[in-house]
Amino acid sequence: MNEARWVVQFATRNKGKYDEAARVAANYGVELEQLNLEKYEIQADDLAKIATVAAEQAFNESKLSPVVAEDAGFFVGALNGFPGPYSSYVYRKLGLEGVLRLLGNTAERAAHFSSAVAYCSGRETACFEGVVKGTVSFTPSGSHGFGFDPIFIPDGCDGRTFAEMDIDEKNRHSHRALAFSKFCEWLRFQSPEK
């Protein structure tokens, strides 16, 4: 683990997201601090746009520099990409079982998770994306993670869901870890904010 060269505020109330991202960032010498703000979320089909507006709003509201915000979506092929960027709303309203009922017993279960991490320093804004492909399980499995983790089986993980993995193993495969890794790699070559 590298000594932190950067301190970045992560605007999220989701402790699970924060814990995952903070572990990834620490590997790059970036310290993420949880900025416990209600995330401003526009309704849009583009995760990068949603995350970018959220980061800019968090920066303006907190007056802290720099700030990141993240938005993620669960995209199910047989449902034409639903719930996509509306995943947290659908999770609250339908839950895991509701999405599984929508799929029924169809053999077409391809899905992917996408994450967009947006950075705002007041001087510049940048966005980084990560995608992990996999399938939707027939039943929920596992007790780790959050959201749709118990029904998503990432490719190359021996048929286990994200919820069957501890945080370190999930970070070796996840969309969020990939997006935060891209962000931290980019940040390493920037001049620290004064």
Residues identified as active-site: 71
Q: Helix %, strand %, coil % for the chain, to 5?
A: 35, 25, 35
Query: 86 Cβ partners below 8 Å, 6+ apart?
Result: 73
Q: How far is CA 104 from CA 44, 91, 99, 100, 101, in A?
A: 27, 17, 9, 6, 5
Q: What are phi and psi of 165, to 5 degrees?
A: -115, 145
What ranges in the chain are assigned the alpha helix state H? 15-26, 47-62, 87-103, 167-171, 175-187
- Give the closest residue to 154 by CA, choosing from 138, 140, 175: 175
Residues in the chain: 194
Q: How far is 112 from 125, CA to CA, in rounded Å?
A: 26
Distance of CA 126 to the CA centre of its chain: 16
